[in-house]
Structure 1
Amino acid sequence: MTQASTTRRSVRRRHDREIVSLALPAFGALVAEPLFLMVDSAVIGHLGTPQLAGLAIAAALLSTAVSVFVFLAYATTAAVARRVGADDLPAAIRQGMDGIWLAAFLGLAVVAVTLPTAPWLVDLFGASGTAAPHAVTYLRISSFGIPAMLIVLAATGVLRGLQDTRTPLYVAIAGFTANAALNVGLVYGAGLGIAGSAWGTVIAQFGMAVAYLVVVVRGARRHGASLRPDAAGIRASAQAGVPLLVRTLSLRAVMMIATAVAARLGDAEVAAHQIILALWSLMAFALDAIAIAGQAIIGRYLGADDAEGARQVCRRMVQWGVVSGVVLGVVLVLARPLFVPFFTGDPTVQDTLLPALLVVALSQPVAGVVFVLDGVLMGAGDGPYLAWAMLVTLVVFAPVALLVPVLGGGLTAVWWAMALMMTVRMLTLSFRMRSGRWIVTGATR
């Protein structure tokens, strides 16, 4: 074995260790987050169907409100990681504090809008007369937790940028445990019904926010970073987040169009579509964990002026994405006899589900590349390109998906359109990666 070959293997092993050490805890934290809603659903489900229907509507509104601001985590991760790579921890934490202050201000603004408009928002979703009061109650109370959740997003970005994905995992597990205990205690022990579930979740969310703030504040004091809000820094954080907001909204539009088209096809189709979406989201958590590792590692390499190191780790993460996608696709196909009956016993829904599920399995290697390159470009602070690429993808996807009810093909055609969407994303992101224009070194982009 030549010296060059030995060196390449050593570099690959080092990159693998970095990726695994960041991705595994990130995956655990990502999986723990949706368990909040599962606990709420399980507890409220025993109160009655109207309460559960109300939770479904309120949860959809709340998840949309929070997911729109996911850029607080992504943009903060990239900015902090760059300064870590430049060996300027005080500036890294200062950058993170700007993101946290922005999260707090945005959270308060969302609460101010949600409280008076809650009945109108619930009606907009077409809630029944029996479910609407429960939805309004849950939405209004839970909205108080939005500032805490946005702070959690931003603080998670700070820690990821500092190459720490273990603390978010521990906080997520503690938050999930507290939420479960509070829900049971307040709903049944205190007899507060759906309001008790909402208050339990809010308390758990603020507990998570406090835990994150304690960690960040300790780091700020240790490195002499200011904790005060800085108008210029907050404005810069907001400007960096705008392109990622456009990207997120475009992606949400894709998902909404796909669901709307499936709903037009019939009850069996939309039921099968919902099951596939749940599975698709679960697999996305695994791929997103690699993307999160990419954000943190790429930002650090670029901050350290190591362009070649950034290229090498990017190539290695793409390999990880492809292999992970292949594994997920194979598992999805082999395990379908086990999980399909778990979701539904309706033969019509099962027959509708299976061919579309095969399309999803075939597209997973493409999804693996997309998630990884998305994370790489976020870590590089290449938000404007990500925004334009996602808008182009939306323009290609929308007419194809909307033609499905006209041209036929059923739910399988909808998911072929989704596979096309992922392919367009892969092509646009791969073009950017090969161009090298995303490689901008230094403590700031």
Structure 2
Amino acid sequence: MPQSLKSTVALSLSSHCEREESLMIKLKHPLSGLFENLRNVFEADEIGKEIANIAFPALLALAADPIASLVDSAFVGHIGSVELGAIGVSISIFNLVSKMFNLPLLNITTSFVAEDAVQKAVLTDFPLEPSSPVLKGLFSVESLNDNGEICEIAEANMPAEKPCLPSISSALVVGAILGLGEAFILAFLAGPILTVMGVGSSSPMRLPAVQYLRLKAVGAPAVVVALAVQGVFRGFMDTKTPLYATMTGNVVNIVLDPLLIFTLELGVSGAAIATVVSQFVVLGVLLWILAMKVTLLPPRMEELRLGRFLKSGGYLLARTVAILLVMTLSTSMAARQGPIQMAGHQICLQIWLAASLLSDSIALAGQAIIAAAFAKLDNIRVREASFRILQIGFVFGVFVALLLEATLSAFSRLFTTDADVLAVIKRLIHFVALTQPINSLAFVFDGIHYGASDFPYAAYSMIMASVPSAAFLLVLPHLWGIVAVWWGLTIVMSLRLGVGFLRIGTATGPWNFLKGGDVE
């Protein structure tokens, strides 16, 4: 635990009441913080530096999977438009099956590890009486015995070469089980899933799509466990280690792609094999480094806290299913337009998602900072971090929009030289570019919800936002074609943004303190 964080814990505990009183005096409207200090959005103050130190390495690390997909798309695009469309459908299916479970695990791990790390620092630096109300407020129900006292406080104060946090061990166990399950689903149900996606047995995309998807299934366990380990490092506010690991994996992927696709003439299968090998390299590096810092598994399996993972994970699973079903439905409707339309959609979608990673990295920084601040009951810190990352996210969203609008037409030629595919991309450029500010703020709100452990609201609001978007996608693409698919994506991201403003703007749930109440 960094010394600066321990000092912050001490300051928070000693001046909690004064800061709460100051907060209530200063607040006007719950969203008033959005318009405060706008000229100093990128000021290198204490919180600005902390956001940058977490967000910048996270940005490069988060880019790993989309970059791998873009690399595959770039190489496969030179084989043909049918093959490019095939891997587009396969990548979408892989994202649906894997991220349906992986993203909840990643975000829960980040929040829980951040909370556990703060609590560990409090026990180490402040050996208060077990019945202290301060310590009771900082610990979850699972940490208290029947008398309301903190369990094993003596053990927590004992020095240890390698700390053992239940959140870390639980994340690894859950990740391993999920990864094996995903591998089974992708390997044995590839055909039926592709049929549902609109790629039937008579489609020219069918054979390359099946080959690519079944080979990528081998890497599913590595992807899930690696994401869980990344969540651990993020909880410790360390985004540099995942960056080094993913950079290593990307180098492996870039080297292997041309070798396997063209030199060994494996085509689409070569692209999948290169990606799988790189994923296991990333996992190996991450586990090796983590094992040097902490104990990966507890002495007794009953020490695992799987209950809170499953409860919070259930909420985020429902949320992730909702958004991924909308995303997958959009890909399915694009595939029904034919290989040319699907190829253009695939390139635009990958660029659209990759461009949004900047905002996702800012959201990740906010999640870690906000989770630690909530664990310390530092509401002023929560408010300051939340509105700062919203401001930064919006500015970057506008910047990325302008950049894509100016360069996307020329940039798309790196992925294909097919004139028909390029014509489709030209029709979609404005959607890809102009939705970036919306996407940016929507992703930042996700980080804010997760940092506050506001998992139920994140789930219910996303389900409500996905219903009208899915209805639009089911009907309008039959009339308006590929353009309607992108209108559907724009609608879901706009609604996603709206429910974020609604939660904080009404000062409900964990944000009750914004109107001078207590944190729920």
Corresponding position of 1:357:
429
Corresponding position of 1:219:
293
One-letter identity of the residue aligned with 2:105: L
1:170, distance to aligned residue in structure 2 (A): 0.5
Bigger mean CA offset, 77-86 vs 37-46: 37-46
Q: Distance in 1 between matches of 2:422 and 2:84?
A: 25
Corresponding position of 2:98:
66
Deviations 1:105-162 (A, max 9, x none): 1112233444444454456542558875665555444423211111001000000010
Q: In structure 2, which of residues 357, 363, 374 is the aligned counterpart of residue 291 of structure 1?
A: 363
Identity of aligned residues (%): 31
1:397, distance to aligned residue in structure 2 (A): 1.8
Corresponding position of 1:374:
446
Q: In structure 2, which of residues 481, 487, 498 is the aligned counterpart of residue 427 of structure 1?
A: 498
* Alignment TM-score, normalising by the size of structure 2: 0.71
Q: Distance in 2 between matches of 1:27 and 1:340?
A: 22
1:207 aligns with 2:272: no
Q: 1:411 to 1:40 in 2, by over 3 A?
A: closer
1:308 aligns with 2:383: no
1:280 aligns with 2:352: yes
Larger CA Rg, structure 1 vs 2: 2
How do 1:399-418 residues align onto structure 2 when only pairs under 5 Å count? 399-405=471-477, 411-418=482-489
Corresponding position of 2:57:
25
Whether contact under 8 Å (1:71, 1:244) holds in the other structure is yes
Please tell me the root mean square deviation across aligned C-alpha atoms, in Å: 3.9
Q: Distance in 2 between matches of 1:343 and 1:194?
A: 15
Whether contact under 8 Å (1:57, 1:127) holds in the other structure is no
Whether contact under 8 Å (2:97, 2:186) holds in the other structure is no
Whether contact under 8 Å (2:54, 2:365) holds in the other structure is yes
Whether contact under 8 Å (1:93, 1:219) holds in the other structure is no
Gaps of 5+ in 1: none
**Aligned length, in residue pairs:** 435
Q: Distance in 2 between matches of 1:55 and 1:102?
A: 29
Corresponding position of 2:226:
152
Whether contact under 8 Å (1:93, 1:158) holds in the other structure is no
Whether contact under 8 Å (1:171, 1:208) holds in the other structure is yes
Q: Distance in 1 between matches of 2:252 and 2:105?
A: 24
Q: In structure 2, which of residues 217, 239, 250 is the aligned counterpart of residue 176 of structure 1?
A: 250
1:428, distance to aligned residue in structure 2 (A): 0.9
Gaps of 5+ in 2: 1-25, 27-35, 125-155, 157-162, 514-519
SS of equivalent residue, structure 1 residue 68: helix
In terms of fraction of residues, the more helix-rich structure is 1
Corresponding position of 1:236:
308
Q: In structure 1, which of residues 85, 89, 104 is the aligned counterpart of residue 176 of structure 2?
A: 104
Q: Distance in 2 between matches of 1:43 and 1:264?
A: 24
Bigger mean CA offset, 301-310 vs 64-73: 64-73
Q: 1:355 to 1:294 in 2, by over 3 A?
A: same
Whether contact under 8 Å (1:389, 1:428) holds in the other structure is yes
Q: 1:86 to 1:52 in 2, by over 3 A?
A: same
Q: In structure 2, which of residues 93, 97, 114 is the aligned counterpart of residue 81 of structure 1?
A: 114
Corresponding position of 2:67:
35
Q: In structure 1, which of residues 8, 11, 16 is the aligned counterpart of residue 48 of structure 2?
A: 16
Q: Distance in 2 between matches of 1:187 and 1:344?
A: 16
Whether contact under 8 Å (2:107, 2:450) holds in the other structure is yes
1:306, distance to aligned residue in structure 2 (A): 0.9
Q: Distance in 2 between matches of 1:219 and 1:119?
A: 43
Q: Distance in 1 between matches of 2:87 and 2:335?
A: 21
Q: 1:386 to 1:231 in 2, by over 3 A?
A: same
